[in-house]
Amino acid sequence: MTAPGTGRRIAVLTSGGDAPGMNAAIRATTLIGRAAGAEVYGVERGYRGLVDGAFVPLGAADVQGILREGGTILGSARCKEFHERAVRDRARAQLAEVMEVTDANWRGVGIIPNSGFALRPAYAAHDARLRFPSYDNEARKRRGEMPPGCDCARVVLGKIYPNECILYGRACTPRHPIGPCMVSDEGACRIWWVSGVRSPLAEGTTA
Ligand code: SF4
């Protein structure tokens, strides 16, 4: 019997600014891709690496222990060709050929109309959401929500300051992070903590 991914090659890249969860995405792509029999490659330095052909093979050892590291092990970079209008137009046209704008569900925030991309029907054979129906499973979706008590969504939306979260500095610290905002170096709660704000906002005061 042939494994379902045999003969396939998957590449993963991280673009834009470093963000929490990038290493988790790289690790999941690598481990699941290889378990399915595919060859997995990382593209270094985001779109810059696509232009330069910076593909590196990824295996289990390459992604071991990266979950707790901030940012992305593949790096991200600005691509100065994108300063040129013609290059941006070409990229936009290529994107539009493969992807269409769709409503997207943002963790902890909910569905925002026209805020995401999905593969066009012509590319359905490559759409993981269609190939793996458990993607829509309710229990799985709940696992993608914020941990109980974590107010990260309101922090990210600027509705509260990090130390207005009831868990800040009590149950949630960089050594024992509960939500994504405390996990990575770029997380709002982590930044406040590192900047010296070590206690939750006392009731009746303002930040
Ligand atoms: S302090 Fe921790 S639990 Fe509270 S919002 Fe920030 S990450 Fe979430």
- Residue-wise pLDDT for 166-175, tens only, equals 999 999 999 9
- Taking alpha carbons only, the member of 166, 161, 171, 159 closest to residue 195 is 161
Range of the domain at 120: 85-145
The answer to whether the Cα torsion of 150, 154, 160, 161 is positive or negative is positive
- Domain containing residue 137: CATH number: 3.40.50.11740
Evaluate: CB of 165 within 6 angstroms of ligand 1: yes
Does one domain contain both 23 and 38? yes
8 Å CB contact between 111 and 104: yes
Cα 76 from Cα 15, distance rounded (Å): 5
Could you report the per-residue pLDDT of 117-168, keeping only the tens digit for each?
Answer: 899 999 998 887 888 777 777 666 665 678 889 999 899 889 999 999 999 9
- pLDDT above 70 as % of the chain: 89
- At 1, the pLDDT band (50, 70, 90 cuts) reads very low
Q: Quick one: 57 and 106 in the same domain?
A: no
Q: Give whole-number Cα distances, 19 to 14, 22, 65, 206, in Å.
A: 9, 6, 17, 28
Q: Ligand 1 center to residue 152 CA distance, Å?
A: 5
Q: Is residue 201 part of a domain?
A: no
Ligand 1 center from residue 193 Cα (angstroms)? 11
Instruction: Please state which of the ranges 30-34, 89-93, 106-110 shows the lowest mean pLDDT.
Output: 106-110
For residue range 49-61, what is the model confidence (pLDDT) as tens digits? 887 888 999 999 9
- 93 and 50 in a common domain: no
How far apart CA 67 and CA 132 sit, in angstroms, is 24
Mean pLDDT of 65-92: 85
> Atom 1 in ligand 1: which residue has the minimum CA distance?
168
What integer pLDDT is reported at residue 4 of this predicted model?
A: 53
- Please give the average per-residue pLDDT across 29-41, as a whole number: 90
More confident residue, 190 or 141: 190
pLDDT given at position 206: 54
Distance CA 205, CA 207 (A): 7
Same domain, yes or no: 4 and 72: yes
Q: Please report, for the domain that includes residue 33, its CATH number.
A: 3.40.50.450
- Tell me, yes or no, whether 38 and 105 share the same domain: no
Closest atom of ligand 1 to 154 CA is: 5
Domain-embedded: residue 205: no
CB 151 within 8 A of CB 160: yes
73 belongs to a structural domain:
yes
Helices (H), 68-127: 85-98
Same domain, 169 and 182: yes
Ligand 1 centroid to 62 CA: how many Å?
29
Please give the Cα distance from 29 to 183 (Å, whole number).
Answer: 20
Answer with the residue of higher pLDDT: 6 or 94.
Answer: 94
Residue 27 covered by a domain: yes
Count of CB atoms within 10 A of residue 59's CB? 12
Q: How many domains does the chain have?
A: 3
Structure token digits, residue 39: 């060859």
Q: Whose CA is nearest to atom 3 of ligand 1?
A: 150
Residue 199 inside a domain? The answer is: no
> Which atom number of ligand 1 is nearest to the Cα of residue 179?
7
User: At 51, which helix (H) or strand (E)?
Assistant: helix 46-52
Q: What does pTM read for this prediction?
A: 0.55
Residues 23 and 39 in one domain: yes
In short, whether 162's Cβ falls inside 6 Å of ligand 1 is yes
Q: Is residue 93 part of a domain?
A: yes
User: Is any atom of ligand 1 closer than 6 Å to the C-beta of 182?
Assistant: yes
* 11 plus 71 within the same structural domain: yes
For 13, list phi and psi in degrees, rounded to 5: -135, 155
**Mean pLDDT taken over the chain:** 84
**Domain end marker among 83, 103, 121:** 83
